[in-house]
Chain A
Amino acid sequence: MARVYNWQLGRDMSYWYPEKRPQRQFAAVFDTNKCIACQTCTLACKTTWTSGKGQEYMLWNNVESKPYGSYPLAYDVRLLEQLDGQRWEGSRYAGRTIFEAAPAGERVLGWRPEQQDYSYPNVGEDDCAGQVDHGALIQVPHLSWFFYLARICNHCTYPACLAACPRGSIYKRQEDGIVLVDQGRCRGYQECVRGCPYKKVFFNPMTGTSEKCIACFPKIEQGVQPQCFVNCIGKIRLAGFLSAADQAKAENPIDYLVHLRKVALPLFPQFGLEPNVYYIPPIHAPLAFNEQLFGPGAGAAMAAYRGAPADRDLAGLLCLFGSTPSLVARWRRRGDLVSGLDEKASEIVRVPLLEPVHVRPAVDPTRQVVRTNCP
């Protein structure tokens, strides 16, 4: 194993291959507070990429109701149980990653979901036991809150899927950091399925190869955001490229949210993959839960997000989510207007910080009708 630097852990760690960062890294920010679990993203991906034979059960994009929802079943808990002592010392991870905890003879600490683990795409959907007059019927650790966690492949800087493949059939593109399974080379050993802690590689029994989210690379190559982003009803997603931590630029929306404001955090950074989908934590979920999912920065991120109404830059940038199909390379706020710009600094979209609100009286006395105010 080689020694590599993982900025999310604040330290060096072991990885199967030496550090080789791509020229730029595809990355995304998901605002969990805005997701309504409509699953439009799931369907957008499904109809675009996984409607073939053998792909029936695959959800490259899925949305699960946390704390209990998970796809495949208990993918997170199963690994968390195996990875003991996930301790942080400040912003430095003092526990072991899945590479460092790999048992003898293995490349990563992994586990293999069984077929039936894929049978419940969102177990516990909308389960919430709060506000029940006579008390909850069952007692479970998390009673009166839930939130939706939308997940795609994290196009990790240190992919476990890639490390686990004994054939080198998985590669990380130098031009954008997108992680792909070479469908010509894969022989379906399913080591990647076992190795990916996010369980974002799926075995196709009809082609006998493993398949995964491709970050809609044909769209990325044309400067367009992926399918599950542009179809997101809740406008929770923004795709772009993330700079190295010491080269963050305030004008890059992803850098601004991840590196500078630290309001968007990686999912399970303690696994050690340096995942590149960053989440704004749900502000109504308990801090301890958010810290387990998103690391020690969760409290500060929640506070920053709560302060967004008085924080015109942060609020402004959040308004750009879901405002354009194009990749937003830069952004700027001028007064109450926020602009998204392309790589040549040409404006591609402009949105107001506050949408104008019109309220009509519910009853129109002239026409003697009652109206519903739909947005």
Chain B
Amino acid sequence: MRARRQLLAASVLTAASLAAACAKPPAPVQEVVAVRTAVLPAAPDEAVWNAAPEHVAKMIPQDLVEPRLLAPSTAEVRIRALTNGETVAFRLNWADTTKSDTPGPAQMVDACAVQIPQQNGPQPPAPQMGEIGRPVDVVYWRADWQAIVNGRGDSIRDLYPNAYVDPYPFNARPLVPGSPEQADMARRYAPARALDNNRSGPRTAPVEELVAQGPGTSEPAAPRGSTGRGIWAAGSWMVVIARPWPQDVRDGQRTSVAFAVWQGSQHEAGARKMRTGWIPLLAGGAR
């Protein structure tokens, strides 16, 4: 606890002193400090992110459960965090020379996730997606969802521009284009959509809220209003993921956070991912 207090003091000091000279970003810190700001930035490239100190989180392959990630890929993810008191926004930044945002057979997409224990306490649950009875909240962002939110259409030609497709049954007469009957018929030809699988779109947000109690158990969570936005440029992703603080985390308190990154070009998906362990997360470090 004493060590933690010292850490807290050090980080507050770092954040405060460097905020004065805003042109220069604060030096890297050993924990994730969510720095207080009036308005949270929606985009990952806004200047206000420079006010937050950077935490460089080393990543390790998921090697607890099969299928494991056998070849390590993303070595580190650079984290900054801001908070307006209600919501905490993380900016994840990692190097990825290939932008993978088109799903297909054997075509995985880039993705990342932020994980926070549902109940704050001295001992967080297992860092690999929690434990039975000790759930974790996950906010998951995907590059293909981002592309859809950015305007990619919901047709096969949006994925394969040269595709030729025979008419679909749900486009046939006497169904009136755009009618509820037609929409209903189209859903029946997309089983995952008919079952309201969050995974299946069409999407209005690039993030999905999940709750998990161990590997392979993630389920849709009750909506919390999480948001996200990612930009790929010059060989790296910058992704903002924002979510409300857990109820039991107040200003000045600590909880834990963990991150995961998937590189589509490396066929990473699901259990095949790079992850961090738990990292201390300080709510509302002074600015």
Contacts and interface: CB of A to CB of B under 8 A. Distances in A.
A274 interface: no
Contacts of B156: 53-54, 56, 205-206
A179 to B, nearest CB: 15
Given A184-B196, A187-B270, A205 B103 contact: yes
A347 interface: no
Interface string A92-122: 0000000000001111000011110010000
B216 A205 contact: no
B200 A168 contact: no
A164 B67 contact: yes
B63 A105 contact: yes
Interface string B140-172: 000010000000001110010001011011100
Interface in A179-201: 183-191, 193
Nearest to B191: A183
B195 A114 contact: no
B105 interface: yes
B104 A115 contact: yes
Nearest to B271: A166
A57 B160 CA distance: 12
Contacts of A187: 199, 218, 270
A52 B195 CA distance: 15
A204 B199 CA distance: 12
B69 to A, nearest CB: 8
Interface stretch (A207-215, A261-269, A299-307): A207-215
| Interface band, chain B | 35 or more
Contacts of B68: 105-106
B154 A118 contact: no
Nearest to B217: A167
B195 A183 contact: yes
A51 interface: yes
B192 A56 contact: no
Contacts of A104: 70
Contacts of B105: 57, 113-115, 118, 190, 193, 202-203, 205
B6 interface: no
Residue with the greatest number of chain B CB neighbours at <10 A, chosen from A56, A104, A211: A56
B271 A206 contact: no
Contacts of A54: 156, 190
B197 A209 contact: yes
Contact of B67 (A53, A55, A106, A193): A106
B72 interface: no
Contacts of B196: 184
Given A53-B189, A183-B195, A209-B197, A189 B269 contact: yes
Interface string A289-309: 000000000000000000000
Please give me the 9 A-B residue pairs with the lowest Cβ-Cβ distance, nearest first: A52-B189, A189-B270, A105-B68, A184-B195, A207-B192, A183-B191, A207-B200, A209-B192, A183-B192
23 contacts: A53-B156, A56-B163, A56-B165, A104-B70, A106-B66, A113-B106, A115-B106, A167-B216, A167-B270, A184-B197, A187-B218, A188-B199, A189-B269, A189-B270, A189-B272, A190-B105, A191-B67, A193-B106, A203-B104, A204-B190, A206-B156, A207-B190, A209-B192
Interface of A: 51-57, 104-107, 112-115, 118, 164, 166-168, 183-191, 193, 202-209, 211
Given A53-B190, A113-B106, A207-B192, 19 more contacts: A51-B189, A52-B170, A52-B189, A53-B189, A56-B163, A105-B68, A115-B105, A115-B107, A166-B65, A166-B270, A168-B216, A184-B195, A188-B269, A202-B105, A203-B106, A206-B156, A206-B201, A207-B199, A207-B201
